[in-house]
Structure 1
Amino acid sequence: MTSTPQAAAGPMPSPWKLSAFWFGTAFLWLLLLLILMPGDVQHFVGERDKGKYLGLLGGLGAAVALLLPPFVGAYSDRIGKRLPLIRLGLAVNVAGLAVMALAVQFLGGLTGFWVYALGFLIVQFGNNYATAPYSALIPELVPREARGRYSGVMGTLQASGQLLGGVTAFLVGQFHVPGFLSYALIAAVLLISAGVTLRGVPETRLPPRATSGTGVSWAQIRTLFAHQPFLWVFVTRALFALGQYSVQPFMRYYVEDVLHAPNPQTATSLLLMTIIVGAICTTLLGGRISDRVGRKPVIYVAGTLMALVALALLAAPNFGVALALALVFGLGFGAFTSVDWALGSDAMPSSSNYARDMGIWHVAFTAPQMVETPQGALLDYGNHLGGTQGYTIVFGLAALFFMLGVLLVRNVPETPTGARSDHGT
Structure 2
Amino acid sequence: MSLSADRPAAVPISPAVLSAFWFGTAFHWLVLLLILMPGDVVKFVGEGQKGTYLGLLTAIGAVMALVLPPLVGAHSDRTGKRIPYIRLGLGVNLAGLLVMALAAASLSGVAGFWVYVLGFLLVQFGNNYATAPYSALIPQLVPPEQRGRYSGVMAMLQAGGQLLGAVAALVIGLLHLPGIATYLLVGLVLLLPALVTMRGVPAQADRLVPSQSAPQLSVAQLFAHQPFLWVFLTRVLFALGQYSVQPFLQYYNKDVMRQGDPANATSIMLACIIVGSIASALIGGRISDRTGRKPVIYVAGGLMAAVALLLLFAPNFTAALLLALLFGLGFGAFTSVDWALGSDAMPSESSYARDMGIWHVAFVAPQFVGAPQGRLLDWGNAQSPNLGYTLVFGIAAVFFVLGVILVRNVPEKVHRPS
**TM-score, normalized by the shorter chain, greater than 0.5:** yes
**Matched length:** 411
2 CA distance for matches of 1:155 and 1:9? 22
2 CA distance for matches of 1:327 and 1:154? 20
**Displacement of 1:73:** 0.2
Q: 1:49 to 1:207 in 2, by over 3 A?
A: same
Equivalent in the alignment of 1:22: 22
2 CA distance for matches of 1:120 and 1:106? 16
Alignment map for 1:74-113 (pairs within 5 Å)? 74-109=74-109, 112-113=112-113
Q: 1:100 to 1:232 in 2, by over 3 A?
A: same
Q: Choose which of 409, 415, 421 in structure 1 pairs with 2:416.
A: 421
Equivalent in the alignment of 2:214: none
Kindly provide the CA deviation profile for residues 187-217 of structure 1, in whole angstroms up to 9, marking residues without a partner as x. 21111100110111114232479xxxxxxxx
**Displacement of 1:111:** 5.2
2 CA distance for matches of 1:182 and 1:273? 17
2 CA distance for matches of 1:105 and 1:263? 20
1 CA distance for matches of 2:373 and 2:184? 33
What is the DSSP-based 3-state SS (H/G/I as helix, E as strand, rest coil) of the residue aligned with 2:218?
Answer: helix
Kindly provide the CA deviation profile for residues 126-151 of structure 1, in whole angstroms up to 9, marking residues without a partner as x. 11000010010111100111000111
Equivalent in the alignment of 1:212: none
Alignment map for 1:18-417 (pairs within 5 Å)? 18-45=18-45, 50-109=50-109, 112-203=112-203, 204=205, 205-207=207-209, 220-415=218-413
* 8 A contact 2:38–2:250 mirrored in 1: no
1 CA distance for matches of 2:105 and 2:265? 28
1 CA distance for matches of 2:167 and 2:233? 33
Kindly provide the CA deviation profile for residues 53-99 of structure 1, in whole angstroms up to 9, marking residues without a partner as x. 44433222110001100000000001111111111111111122223
What is the DSSP-based 3-state SS (H/G/I as helix, E as strand, rest coil) of the residue aligned with 1:81?
Answer: coil
Q: 1:387 to 1:93 in 2, by over 3 A?
A: closer
2 CA distance for matches of 1:386 and 1:177? 36
Which structure 2 residue ranges, 5 or more long, are not aligned? 212-216
- Opposite residue 72 of structure 1, the aligned amino acid is V
1 CA distance for matches of 2:13 and 2:409? 32
- Opposite residue 421 of structure 1, the aligned amino acid is R
Most deviating of 378-387 and 239-248: 378-387
Kindly provide the CA deviation profile for residues 298-349 of structure 1, in whole angstroms up to 9, marking residues without a partner as x. 0011111111222222222222222111111110110001000000000001
* 8 A contact 1:68–1:129 mirrored in 2: yes
- Opposite residue 37 of structure 1, the aligned amino acid is M
* 8 A contact 2:241–2:397 mirrored in 1: yes
Query: Greater RCO between the two (CA within 8 Å, min separation 6)?
Result: 2
- Opposite residue 395 of structure 1, the aligned amino acid is F
Q: 1:321 to 1:40 in 2, by over 3 A?
A: closer
**Displacement of 1:37:** 2.3
Q: 1:377 to 1:389 in 2, by over 3 A?
A: same
* 8 A contact 2:11–2:141 mirrored in 1: no
Equivalent in the alignment of 1:216: none
Q: 1:40 to 1:247 in 2, by over 3 A?
A: closer
**Displacement of 1:101:** 2.9
Superposed CA RMSD in Å reads 2.4
What is the DSSP-based 3-state SS (H/G/I as helix, E as strand, rest coil) of the residue aligned with 1:31?
Answer: helix
2 CA distance for matches of 1:382 and 1:50? 14
Which structure 1 residue ranges, 5 or more long, are not aligned? 210-218
2 CA distance for matches of 1:326 and 1:132? 30
* 8 A contact 1:351–1:422 mirrored in 2: no
Q: 1:246 to 1:295 in 2, by over 3 A?
A: same
- Opposite residue 257 of structure 2, the aligned amino acid is L
* 8 A contact 2:4–2:210 mirrored in 1: no
* 8 A contact 2:72–2:354 mirrored in 1: yes
Q: Give TM-score scaled by structure 1 length.
A: 0.90
1 CA distance for matches of 2:333 and 2:47? 39
